[in-house]
C-alpha cells in the first residue's frame, strides 16, 4: 500500500480565503510542482508539443479577454463622451426657474430643472425628477449639519449631510429647496 506525504486536497478558493477574490474573474493558474504528472498519463504521452499547445491556448485566451475588455472600455468612453457632449448642449439652454445649491468642504447638493445631484468627496449620483419618490430634509436640534435625503420609488434612500456656516442657513435652505420642489417635482399621487 502506498502512502502519500502531504495533503491530497486542493487549496480552497474564494473570498473566505482570498481577500482579493472577485467573483467572475478566473483564478490564477495553479503552479504545479515539477515532475508531477496528471493521473493516468504515461511519460510517452507527455511531450513538449502538448505542453506548448496548452501554453499557447492559454495565451490566446488571455489576449482575447484583454482585447474584449479594451473594446468594452473604448465603447464606454465613447458613450461617456457622447453624454458629455449632450450635457453641454443642455447646459447652453438657460432655464428660468429656481435652483437650490448647498455645499461644504466635502459634500454638495444641487437641485434644478434637471433633477437632484448629490456628491460627497469623489462620489456622485444624479436623479432625474421622474426617478425621485420623495425628498426629505432634516435640521438637527443641535449642531450645524443639514441632512437632505432623496428617496426613490424602489424604496432606496440616499442621504447627504451639508455642514452649514450658521444655523440660520437651515431655514434659508429649506425655503430654497421647497421652491425647487414646488416648481419641478410632480407628486404621482396627486
pLDDT band, residue 138 (cuts 50/70/90): very high
How many whole angstroms from its chain centre is CA 38? 42
133 versus 78: the higher-pLDDT residue is 133
- With CA atoms as reference, report the closest residue to 136 among 113, 158, 164: 158
Looking at residues 102-119, what average pLDDT do you find? 94
77-101 pLDDT, tens digit per residue, is 666 666 655 555 455 566 778 999 9
Instruction: Please calculate the CA angle 17-31-65 and round it to the nearest 5 degrees.
Output: 80
pLDDT band, residue 190 (cuts 50/70/90): very low
pLDDT band, residue 186 (cuts 50/70/90): confident
Helix (H, G, I), strand (E, B) or coil at 99: coil
13-32 pLDDT, tens digit per residue, is 665 666 666 666 665 566 56
Distance from C-alpha of 125 to C-alpha of 149, rounded to nearest angstrom:
13
Amino acid at each position: 500500500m502506498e502512502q502519500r506525504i502531504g495533503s491530497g486536497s486542493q487549496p480552497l478558493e474564494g473570498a473566505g480565503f482570498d481577500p482579493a477574490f472577485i467573483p467572475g474573474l478566473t483564478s490564477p493558474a495553479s503552479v504545479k510542482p515539477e515532475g508531477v504528472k496528471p493521473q493516468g498519463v504515461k511519460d510517452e504521452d507527455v511531450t513538449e508539443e502538448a505542453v506548448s499547445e496548452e501554453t499557447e491556448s492559454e495565451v490566446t485566451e488571455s489576449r482575447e479577454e484583454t482585447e474584449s475588455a479594451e473594446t468594452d472600455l473604448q465603447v464606454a468612453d465613447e458613450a461617456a463622451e457622447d453624454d458629455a457632449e449632450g450635457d453641454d448642449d443642455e447646459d447652453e439652454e438657460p432655464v428660468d426657474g429656481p435652483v437650490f445649491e448647498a455645499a461644504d468642504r466635502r459634500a454638495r447638493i444641487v437641485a434644478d430643472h434637471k433633477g437632484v445631484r448629490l456628491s460627497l468627496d469623489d462620489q456622485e449620483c444624479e436623479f432625474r425628477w421622474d426617478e425621485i419618490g420623495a425628498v426629505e430634509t432634516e435640521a438637527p436640534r443641535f449642531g450645524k449639519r443639514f441632512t437632505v435625503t432623496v428617496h426613490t420609488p424602489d424604496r432606496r434612500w440616499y442621504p447627504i449631510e451639508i455642514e452649514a456656516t450658521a444655523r440660520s442657513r437651515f431655514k434659508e435652505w429649506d425655503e430654497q429647496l421647497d421652491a425647487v420642489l414646488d416648481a419641478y417635482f410632480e407628486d404621482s399621487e396627486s
